[in-house]
Amino acid sequence: MNSTWFRRFTTPGNGPLLVCFPHAGGSATAYRTLAQALPAGLDVVCVQYPGRQDRYLEEPFTDLTRLAGAVAEELARVLAADPGRPYALFGHSMGSLVAFETARLLAAGRLPGPRRLFLSGRGAPDAHSTAHFGLYDDAEVLAEVRRLDAASRSMLDDPDIVEMVLPALRADYRALGAYRWRAGAPLTAAMTVLVGDSDPMVTVEQAGTWRSHSRGDVAVKVFPGGHFYLFDQLAEVTAAVAEGLRAEAAAS
């Protein structure tokens, strides 16, 4: 496992590999609590994008498709070392798009694609454009983060914290703004789509637009809360993930 790109916060089990993709401005540690709450038999790894935490001095990506390509390349090495092992991808917000594009690249390669995608806090790319984010200046990026994540508001009043997190946020919003959907065949992987019922960024109806991007089963799970509902509904989210992985194990 490449310790530059992937982090583990639990002891790996012998079950499926679950790869988690952070939201804009987020890091691998955003999934620490989720990883620790999931069933012990899983092997949960979290992607660490460049430009944050211990990769702070690395230049962050401003091209989402290139970021997905870099992750897919590293993940393909992991999968090739353990051929036949089932795996799934989990992404929240921007992470949903990175996970989806990563899945498309892996499915087009020699290795089997993921069994299931868990896509949270984002509608499908052909129905939910991110182009407007490319027009945001730094103040608007910070305002958007405050709007979506109440827990961040007091921290973003601290100039030192803003100086630390802004480069990654700026790069991620530029990547979202530059991202353009490229049509392709639906994935064979099943999907679990997760959304908060009061998310100001995506409605439940928009979350359902992922159905056209999979030939497999697509389940939409709605939770109480806003854009970052998953941190408040931890038990329910982990149950949805475990349910989705069990469904794929039964189908295989």
Helix (H, G, I), strand (E, B) or coil at 214: strand
Rounded distance between C-alpha atoms, residue 48 and residue 27, angstroms: 6
Helix (H, G, I), strand (E, B) or coil at 108: coil
Instruction: State the catalytic residues.
Output: 93
User: Of 4, 24, 32, 247, which Cα lies nearest the Cα of 118?
Assistant: 247
26 in Cβ contact with 104 (< 8 Å): no
Rounded distance between C-alpha atoms, residue 118 and residue 172, angstroms: 20
Neighbour-count burial of 159, counting CB atoms closer than 10 A to its CB (0-12 exposed, 13-18 middle, 19+ buried): exposed
Tokens of 7: 């982090």
* Position 167, amino acid: P
Residues facing 214 on adjacent strands? 187
Rounded distance between C-alpha atoms, residue 165 and residue 61, angstroms: 14
Rounded distance between C-alpha atoms, residue 114 and residue 124, angstroms: 18
Helix (H, G, I), strand (E, B) or coil at 224: coil
